């Protein structure tokens, strides 16, 4: 049988009593907050005097669709090559380099645009990349690479950031189009087939480890970076370094 006071309340020294005291104290201390929120709560719980609940529900649904449509449309507009090269920094520098590569013009007529190589296709990763890239807007506003000289001075740093990002996500953007499972190594050169079997298929390396400079010229210092990554003195490594040097000219 529980013990209680004459008024039916639990004793003050019991667990229930202490909880009751705590609740009462919190209720009193938050009086100012309740008074501030009361007008808004009154508006929220009051029925509309002119619009039906059905109209408000449908209106909210349609408004949500319009918001989502506008948001997605704006995101896709910023995910085009036309948007990317609307800034002269990109148009006059990296775009001109891309035009001379197989990713821009080839026998099959398939072109990889800026977002194909720099933005993941799946929605979640795309949103993350867009948020990450928003800081690049500040660089454009403050003219971090507004001239060719500034661009070249920062090129190694900019390229390094992108290489690190692609390394971290296992070259996700490369795999927008390329798939190790779909590769027919019998149609590749022996050197490429050996490299893919030894490093790519085993997960030892990812695309960007060997394909830096595939669409843009390598910045000065890329050769030294290759040495820093422990490139061996094999025939394949020498050929790779020769390729890096040639691309960096």
Average pLDDT over residues 32-61: 78
**In this structure, what CATH number is given to the domain that contains residue 104?**
1.10.3820
- Whether residue 4 is predicted with pLDDT greater than 70 in this model: the reply is no
Q: Which two tokens stand for residue 249?
A: 């000219």
Q: Find, among 169, 178, 168, 170, the residue nearest to 215 by Cα.
A: 178
The reported pLDDT for the residue numbered 228 is 38
Domain membership flag for residue 225: yes
Instruction: Provide, for the chain, the percentages of residues in helix, strand and coil under a 3-state DSSP scheme, each rounded to the nearest 5.
Output: 65, 0, 35
Choose the weakest-confidence range: 10-24, 77-91, 118-132, 200-214.
10-24
pLDDT greater than 70 at residue 76: yes
pLDDT average, residue stretch 37-59:
75
CA contacts within 13 A on the Cβ side of 245? 8
What range does the domain containing 103 cover?
A: 68-247
Q: Span 53-69, mean pLDDT?
A: 87
pLDDT score for 5: 55
Quick one: DSSP state of residue 219?
P
Rounded Cα distance between 9 and 21, Å, is 11
Mean pLDDT along residues 207-215: 88
Domain contains 192: yes
Res 56: pLDDT: 77
Judge whether 184 lies within some domain: yes
Share of the chain above pLDDT 90, in %: 23
Can you tell me the mean pLDDT for 30-51? 79
Q: Is residue 228 assigned to a domain? A: yes
Task: State the pLDDT confidence band at 206, using cuts at 50, 70 and 90.
Answer: very high
The residue among 222 and 67 whose pLDDT is bigger is 67
Residue 10 in any domain: the answer is no
Q: Looking up tokens 């507009």, which residue turns up?
A: 77
Residue 14 included in any domain: no
Instruction: For residue range 140-177, list pLDDT tens digits in order.
Output: 888 888 889 998 888 888 888 888 899 999 999 998 89
- Does residue 152 sit within a domain? yes
In a domain, 23, yes or no: no
Q: How many domains are there within the chain?
A: 1
């Amino acid at each position: 049988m529980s013990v209680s006071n004459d008024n039916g309340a639990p004793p003050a020294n019991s667990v229930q009593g202490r909880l009751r005291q705590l609740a009462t104290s919190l209720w009193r201390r938050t009086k100012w907050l309740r008074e501030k929120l009361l007008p808004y709560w009154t508006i929220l719980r009051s029925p509309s005097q002119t619009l039906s609940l059905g109209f408000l529900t449908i209106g909210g649904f349609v408004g949500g669709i319009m918001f989502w449509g506008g948001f997605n449309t704006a995101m896709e507009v910023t995910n085009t090559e036309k948007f990317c090269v609307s800034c002269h920094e990109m148009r006059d520098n990296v775009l001109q380099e891309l035009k001379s590569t197989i990713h821009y013009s080839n026998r099959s007529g398939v072109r990889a645009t800026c977002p194909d190589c720099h933005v993941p296709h799946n929605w979640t990763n795309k949103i993350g990349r867009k948020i990450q890239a928003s800081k690049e807007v500040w660089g454009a506003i403050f003219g971090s690479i507004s001239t060719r000289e500034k661009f070249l001075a920062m090129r190694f740093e900019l390229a390094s950031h992108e290489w690190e990002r692609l390394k971290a996500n296992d070259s996700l953007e490369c795999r927008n189009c390329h798939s190790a499972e779909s590769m027919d190594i019998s149609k590749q050169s022996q050197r490429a087939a050996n490299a893919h079997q030894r490093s790519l298929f085993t997960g030892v390396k990812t695309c960007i480890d060997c394909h830096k400079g595939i669409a843009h010229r390598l910045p000065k210092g890329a050769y030294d970076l290759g040495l820093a990554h422990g490139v061996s003195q094999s025939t394949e490594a020498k050929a790779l370094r020769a390729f890096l040097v040639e691309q960096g000219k």
